[in-house]
């Protein structure tokens, strides 16, 4: 995959760290996406921005060329992954889901595509389906830190499940504490702690 994305973090500091990471790695190859901010999926966080940056414009010629390849060869995996990426980057998530699902049907063990599919489900207000897809990703690679980071984010903001989010983020920190994902997870855990402390003080 070419892009990383992340969902809105619990604290403002986490949001800033994550968005900076997203912008800095937007064109990275070979990594799974992380879900970017979805305000409607996180009603408990007033004023959350709808997106980190404008969607990438679709290149109609490239889309057509890839669709032609996909139609001619029902087993062509790469064209389907690229189409999923193009529609994802353009924030046309239903179309990206359609192509990612075809790609996963051809290669169910591709953890990156599976995680991208889960993020796209989250963007279409399907947090339960996202989490189920992340479970499939983790069945292939139990230590896939981008998947685990996404699990925490979707649990926190799609399900309002802070203990579940913390559990996922603790796994990220245990596996790779110094990675960007590990640093983001640490910030998320700080946010959970601060949120819990604030609630206890009321």
- The answer to whether residue 5 sits within a structural domain is no
Structural domain count of the chain: 1
Instruction: Look at 120-124, 129-133, 188-192 and tell me which has the smallest mean pLDDT.
Output: 188-192
Q: Is residue 51 part of a domain?
A: yes
Q: How confident is the model over 10-37, as pLDDT tens digits?
A: 344 444 444 344 333 433 445 677 664 4
**Comparing C-alpha atoms, which of 124, 128, 112 is closest to residue 40?**
124
137: in domain: yes
Predicted confidence (pLDDT) per residue in 103-125, tens digit: 999 999 999 999 999 999 999 99
- 78 falls within a domain: yes
Query: Taking the model in full, what pTM does it have?
Result: 0.78
- Tokens 């290149």 -> residue: 59
- Residue 92 φ/ψ region, left for φ over 0, alpha for ψ in the -120 to 50 degree band, beta for the rest: beta
CATH number of the domain where residue 142 is located = 1.25.40.10
Q: Is residue 182 part of a domain?
A: yes
Is 59 inside a domain boundary? Answer: yes
Q: Decide if 163 is inside a domain.
A: yes
- Domain hosting 173: range is 12-201
User: Is 2 a member of any domain?
Assistant: no
State residue 22's pLDDT score: 37
């Amino acid at each position: 995959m070419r892009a990383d994305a992340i969902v809105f973090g619990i604290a403002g500091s986490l949001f800033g760290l994550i968005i900076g990471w997203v912008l800095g790695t937007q064109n990275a190859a070979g990594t799974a996406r992380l879900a970017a901010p979805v305000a409607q999926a996180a009603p408990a966080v007033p004023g959350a921005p709808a997106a980190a940056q404008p969607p990438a414009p679709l290149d109609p010629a490239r889309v057509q060329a890839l669709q032609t390849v996909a139609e001619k060869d029902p087993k062509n995996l790469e064209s389907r992954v690229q189409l999923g990426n193009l529609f994802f980057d353009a924030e046309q998530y239903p179309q990206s889901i359609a192509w990612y699902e075809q790609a996963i049907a051809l290669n169910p063990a591709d953890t990156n595509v599976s995680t991208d599919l889960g993020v796209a489900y989250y963007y279409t207000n399907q947090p339960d389906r996202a989490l189920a897809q992340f479970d499939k990703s983790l069945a292939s690679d139990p230590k896939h830190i981008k998947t685990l980071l996404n699990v925490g984010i979707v649990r926190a903001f799609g399900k309002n499940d802070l203990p579940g989010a913390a559990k996922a983020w603790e796994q990220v920190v245990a596996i790779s504490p110094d990675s960007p994902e590990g640093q983001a997870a640490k910030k998320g855990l700080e946010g959970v702690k601060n949120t819990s402390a604030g609630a206890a003080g009321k």
